Structure 1
């Protein structure tokens, strides 16, 4: 038995299992795909067939290895291109791995990269269909996660996202919609997919997205809050703070962008100043629950 790696528990919690165990997983994939050359020139490859352990670390690496790139990419390709011959599927996976692609999200960087040529494996129309399916999936996941967070925190969708007709212009929105004073992401589409986004502040459109993706629009919305040093709207405070801390990695020890409003005291029934905390208690609870789930998986 050989020691693989050591990591302090506090570092594991801070950096996360993907970063800590990433190098090990990458080496295991390399051993499976490229193998080891013996002195006589023979190539020997090996795969992980089982992981046995009695601590949380073994659960962590088991969770990563259960969703290895080869399995994930094959499922996605089969869904996007049903009926693709097994020979082409295996060659496609081997080619992507050789380029250093390790997750589905990495595929978006393949298009246009130097030497990234799949023409001998797939015709151009199938390549385009495959890439479009990945982008569509990312869009739908991003929108649905945001809506799920709003529902979990029992907040109003309008505090984060306003939906409008895909043909609406900035002048149309300013003239026909009562745009709120705080920043909002306006999605032009049907609520699940959209062609364009805009950002509004003080009832006016200040940005029309050149990259028509939900994640680009969400990034622009957060940039607006930080560039202009604005508080989050009360209608979606928890959702925005959760996205900031969990997905953007912005975790200041002091200060918050939650509105400093007033609430009704449960003790006296009077209107009192809201207590300020570094992290919203509801957000902190969900973050802890997610961390516990990852450790107990």
Structure 2
């Protein structure tokens, strides 16, 4: 740099008449104002400080990243978008831009002379420009260019696309003109432009939120006060037009009034003989009396003997008590000796009503003693066959207890403090914007968790609507519910259970117990279970093998098909290819990616024929099962009958949700023995599940002693 200045000075002295003092002064100016020197000092010395300077001084509008989805290789794709509204606002902060805009509106077209694009047919015949003369006239265009490649933009895949939009300011202009008719056209347009493009006013109702500081640079103080007073008075009288919100918040009826359909639990019997019946406590075996006095579990032999004695006493008053009658008797026994006769999990949690197994044991004894008496077994004939019932099914018009089964916060009835329908809608839009820019990975942001928690009542309002909304509609409005984290957080608020932690803690230990239960009694099981045990033994150990094995073994035990809960696809499959190539069922399925179910290491969840949740490859089978199971509760989905026993086992044994009744309300199902359609017995606790858990406990007790 110094050598260049020396040569410049020599050239000026030899070839010009400029006095040497002026040349020296010029050289000194170049030295002190050297751009290269300034560039490496002060605010421009680093990339970070330069960007900060540009944002401050040049009205920089930062691009936003928008999530586009996944490509055919299942890789997330994004694009960079420079917001149009912020760009226009940045432009209209410049006085020269506002002046040019005002001048363009004031110029009259010369007849038969085309001076600008506004003189063309598309502009002169445009209805918007006639109705709203102050509208921004924007020309859409795109142009691709390359800044470093001399071969042109065709050699690269990145192009720049500029998109603009038309904003309507006519109505706002009329509001201001009505209050301040003395404003000239230029001043009025300046005020409107500033309100629309700088302050952010988009509709007339926003005018009530304008403050004095927003107008003081354009109007006199008294004019500002006149405007603000008028805006607020009209808003308080409801004279300002409002744009309706797309999703309105209509409080649901009280929780109890939702249950217009029959519950899956039993109605107490009204049989007259029950009022006269007395439990024969004096006929309790000695071992059972000892267990009851010590509040211990009833031994199996003495319990069966007492059941026979109770049924004998019942049949003296009623030859054939029905299931509800047996339930009333079991309830009386349970109320006196709950710890001896009750149904409890190994964690001490009551299963359902607590006396379902005793009720079923009493009923089984009744049917056994009446097996040779045709008269005592006659029941009312069925009104409809199974096929007629299935054909008569219609979309339910009211919610029932199955929807809120196992939930403690199914439909909140009061708004969070300080929230309104409008504020919740604004937060929903913020969530949509965050998901649009960040995609599923943005669910890890702490403010997303807070916003989802604050809008929980709004989410339930849509999900609990009747008729139920399609899953695809819920995904459009609440995309974070279709991420594993968002779904599990919602499940925790809904049920009070952190399903991710619960399954992570329980699945490994309890799965090993189930696998041991089957492996140590190989010859006891049918051919399907034995074949699966051989496959498990031949499969190399993985982190997920034990958990997957346990679920598959219980499905074989319950004689439920694997495809009623799982779908196996190639490990290279993507969301797009699965939806294209597979016929996905309406009820939830866990899609297992791999050569076989036992070795799968990637998972997805499908509902209503679409892939809804993609489980990250870094997560394990417990996380995948959490997402699958959570969908039934979050989206009010009943267990499919074809996998109802396995799902109830997961519910009661692993997740430990133990309410009364069942989440499978199907009246008809497929017989596991014959394959034909049969009428299902609606039980408080699935008897197959209860028997399995009881057998597992007894086996472990025997083998441990």
Q: Please report the TM-score for the alignment, with normalisation by the length of structure 2.
A: 0.23
For residue 159 of structure 1, what is the aligned residue in structure 2? Answer: 564
For residue 222 of structure 1, what is the aligned residue in structure 2? Answer: 629
Aligned-partner Cα distance in 2 for 1:264–1:256:
17
Deviation string for 1:107-140 (max 9, x for gaps)? Answer: xxxxxxxxxxxxxxxxxxxxxxxxxxxxx64400
Aligned-partner Cα distance in 2 for 1:140–1:206:
25
Query: Given that residues 591 and 606 in structure 2 are in contact (C-alpha distance below 8 angstroms), is that contact kept between their aligned partners in structure 1?
Result: yes
For residue 180 of structure 1, what is the aligned residue in structure 2? Answer: 585
Which entry has the higher C-alpha Rg, 1 or 2? 2
Query: Given that residues 263 and 274 in structure 1 are in contact (C-alpha distance below 8 angstroms), is that contact kept between their aligned partners in structure 2?
Result: yes
**Residues 1:176 and 1:272: Cα distance change in structure 2 (over 3 Å):** closer
Query: Given that residues 198 and 207 in structure 1 are in contact (C-alpha distance below 8 angstroms), is that contact kept between their aligned partners in structure 2?
Result: yes
Aligned-partner Cα distance in 2 for 1:263–1:14:
28
Deviation string for 1:272-292 (max 9, x for gaps)? Answer: 753211111111111111121
For residue 148 of structure 1, what is the aligned residue in structure 2? Answer: 553
Aligned-partner Cα distance in 2 for 1:218–1:17:
21
From 695, 698, 703, the equivalent of 1:289 is 695
**Residues 1:15 and 1:262: Cα distance change in structure 2 (over 3 Å):** closer
For residue 667 of structure 2, what is the aligned residue in structure 1? Answer: 261
3-state SS in 2 of match to 1:174: helix
For residue 654 of structure 2, what is the aligned residue in structure 1? Answer: 247
How far off is 1:16 after superposition? Answer: 3.6
3-state SS in 2 of match to 1:197: strand
- Kindly indicate whether residue 638 of structure 2 is the aligned counterpart of residue 231 of structure 1: yes
From 180, 196, 200, the equivalent of 2:602 is 196
3-state SS in 1 of match to 2:544: helix
3-state SS in 2 of match to 1:246: helix
**Residues 1:231 and 1:15: Cα distance change in structure 2 (over 3 Å):** closer
Spell out the pairing of 1:1-297 with structure 2 (5 A cutoff).
Answer: 9=296, 14=344, 16=346, 137-191=542-596, 192-210=598-616, 211-252=618-659, 254-262=660-668, 273-297=679-703
Aligned-partner Cα distance in 1 for 2:693–2:608:
32
Aligned-partner Cα distance in 1 for 2:670–2:607:
29
Measured on the aligned residues, the alpha-carbon RMSD in Å equals 3.0
Which stretch of the first structure deviates more once superposed, 254-263 or 159-168?
254-263
Query: Given that residues 233 and 259 in structure 1 are in contact (C-alpha distance below 8 angstroms), is that contact kept between their aligned partners in structure 2?
Result: no
Aligned residues: 171
Aligned-partner Cα distance in 1 for 2:670–2:594:
38
How far off is 1:230 after superposition? Answer: 1.0
How far off is 1:163 after superposition? Answer: 0.8
How far off is 1:183 after superposition? Answer: 0.4
**Residues 1:274 and 1:14: Cα distance change in structure 2 (over 3 Å):** closer
Query: Given that residues 158 and 235 in structure 1 are in contact (C-alpha distance below 8 angstroms), is that contact kept between their aligned partners in structure 2?
Result: no
Aligned-partner Cα distance in 2 for 1:264–1:150:
15
Aligned-partner Cα distance in 2 for 1:154–1:271:
15
Aligned-partner Cα distance in 2 for 1:239–1:222:
11
How far off is 1:194 after superposition? Answer: 2.2
Query: Given that residues 153 and 282 in structure 1 are in contact (C-alpha distance below 8 angstroms), is that contact kept between their aligned partners in structure 2?
Result: yes
3-state SS in 2 of match to 1:275: coil
Aligned-partner Cα distance in 1 for 2:701–2:670:
38
How far off is 1:249 after superposition? Answer: 1.2
For residue 425 of structure 2, what is the aligned residue in structure 1? Answer: none
How far off is 1:144 after superposition? Answer: 0.9
Deviation string for 1:181-239 (max 9, x for gaps)? Answer: 00000011122222311000000011000244212111111101111121111221111
- Which consecutive unaligned segments of at least 5 residues does structure 1 have? 1-6, 19-104, 107-135
**Residues 1:289 and 1:272: Cα distance change in structure 2 (over 3 Å):** closer
Q: Please report the TM-score for the alignment, with normalisation by the length of structure 1.
A: 0.51
For residue 290 of structure 2, what is the aligned residue in structure 1? Answer: none
Query: Given that residues 182 and 201 in structure 1 are in contact (C-alpha distance below 8 angstroms), is that contact kept between their aligned partners in structure 2?
Result: yes
- Which consecutive unaligned segments of at least 5 residues does structure 2 have? 1-293, 298-338, 349-507, 510-540
Q: 4+ residue stretches of structure 1 with deviation over 3 A?
A: 7-18, 270-273
Query: Given that residues 209 and 217 in structure 1 are in contact (C-alpha distance below 8 angstroms), is that contact kept between their aligned partners in structure 2?
Result: yes
3-state SS in 2 of match to 1:185: strand
Query: Given that residues 139 and 214 in structure 1 are in contact (C-alpha distance below 8 angstroms), is that contact kept between their aligned partners in structure 2?
Result: yes
Query: Given that residues 178 and 203 in structure 1 are in contact (C-alpha distance below 8 angstroms), is that contact kept between their aligned partners in structure 2?
Result: yes
Which protein has the bigger helix share? 2
3-state SS in 2 of match to 1:277: coil
Aligned-partner Cα distance in 2 for 1:9–1:138:
38
Aligned-partner Cα distance in 2 for 1:250–1:160:
19
How far off is 1:17 after superposition? Answer: 8.4
For residue 62 of structure 1, what is the aligned residue in structure 2? Answer: none
How far off is 1:156 after superposition? Answer: 0.6
Query: Given that residues 189 and 196 in structure 1 are in contact (C-alpha distance below 8 angstroms), is that contact kept between their aligned partners in structure 2?
Result: yes
